[in-house]
Amino acid sequence: MIIARKKPIEEILSDIAPYDRILILGCNECVTVCEAGGKKEVEVLASALSLYHLNRRDKKTFGEMTLERQCDREYLEEIRPVQDDWDAVLSLACGVGVQFTAETFPKLPLLPGVDTICLGANEDRGLWTERCQACGSCVLAKTAGICPVSRCAKRLLNGPCGGSANGKCELGADTNCAWQLIVDRLKALDRMADYETVAPIKDWSTDRAGGPRTVTREGIQI
């Protein structure tokens, strides 16, 4: 899923400063699961911002709303009937949701309430870690199911580099060397022969290098 992190309240306070009526808009998908922008986080942020402004006798009002998804126009339509009630929307969705909401309501100022971090997994309670960079051409079949694009700092396809030591990346002791993980798993799968095959140069045009990407599936278009 998409992993996001709540923005510091100080940054949000400065972003919302020009507006009086602010709708805090959550999303029921990824940001709910990673506890950054779901209904609960909308409630807590609305309460914290209200407290801050009550303390200063500022006349700001905050609304709360959480949509099923902000990356789908169908659900964004729920805002249309109330759009004139608000001076700005503070969206707690990922960058996709913020942009799609902005595109759908061109006259409504949109502010992000979270920082979108990565595509990751829920490794433990309160711990999310990156697993994919959406490079557009998956190499996992060749790398024993461990992604060197997202998990190796140098995105090496024929690793490891000389910095790998005791299973750790040269970045530091907190980061496992992706290539050590790949070799360990290839061994466990009895597929070390795969390691001897040099990976060809990857076509990075499917990654960001080729510009914004689009997926078209004609079969389901009506």
Contact mark string toward other proteins, 162..201, x via CB under 8 A: ----------------------------------------
DSSP state, residue 102:
H
Between 72 and 170, whose beta carbon lies closer to ligand SF4? Answer: 170
DSSP state, residue 16:
H
Helix (H) or strand (E) holding 66, with range, is strand 61-67
Stretch that binds ligand SF4, among 81-89, 105-113, 148-156, 196-204 (CB under 6 A): 148-156
d(C-alpha 163, C-alpha 161), whole Å: 5
Rounded least distance, CB 13 to other proteins, Å: 8
Stretch that binds ligand SF4, among 59-67, 119-127, 160-168, 194-202 (CB under 6 A): 160-168
Q: Is 8 in the site for other proteins (CB under 8 A)?
A: yes
Q: Which position has the token pair 């009526």?
A: 21
Q: Are 148 and 213 in contact (CB under 8 A)?
A: no
Q: Is 35 in the site for other proteins (CB under 8 A)?
A: no
Q: Is 150 in the site for ligand SF4 (CB under 6 A)?
A: no
Which 3 state secondary structure label does DSSP give 126?
Answer: coil
Q: Which of 14, 20, 54, 129 is close enough to bind other proteins by CB under 8 A?
A: 54
Our measurement of the distance from residue 187's CA atom to the centroid of its chain's CA atoms, rounded to an integer in Å, reads 33
Our measurement of the distance from residue 23's CA atom to the centroid of its chain's CA atoms, rounded to an integer in Å, reads 21
Site for ligand SF4 in 6-25 (CB under 6 A): none
Exposure b/e, 52-85, CB count within 10 A at least 16 = b: ebeeeeeebebbeebbebbbeeebbeebeeeeee
d(C-alpha 114, C-alpha 107), whole Å: 21
Q: Which does 163 bind (CB under 5 to 8 A by kind): ligand SF4, other proteins, none?
A: ligand SF4
Between 14 and 129, whose beta carbon lies closer to ligand SF4? Answer: 129
Q: Which position has the token pair 């909308």?
A: 42
Q: Which does 178 bind (CB under 5 to 8 A by kind): ligand SF4, other proteins, none?
A: ligand SF4
Q: Which residue is nearest to ligand SF4 (CB)?
A: 169
Q: Which does 179 bind (CB under 5 to 8 A by kind): ligand SF4, other proteins, none?
A: ligand SF4
Helix (H) or strand (E) holding 46, with range, is helix 39-55
Sites of contact with ligand SF4 (CB under 6 A): 152-154, 156, 159-161, 163-164, 169-171, 177-179
Question: Where on the chain is the footprint of other proteins (CB under 8 A)?
Answer: 8-10, 40, 43-44, 47-52, 54-55, 57
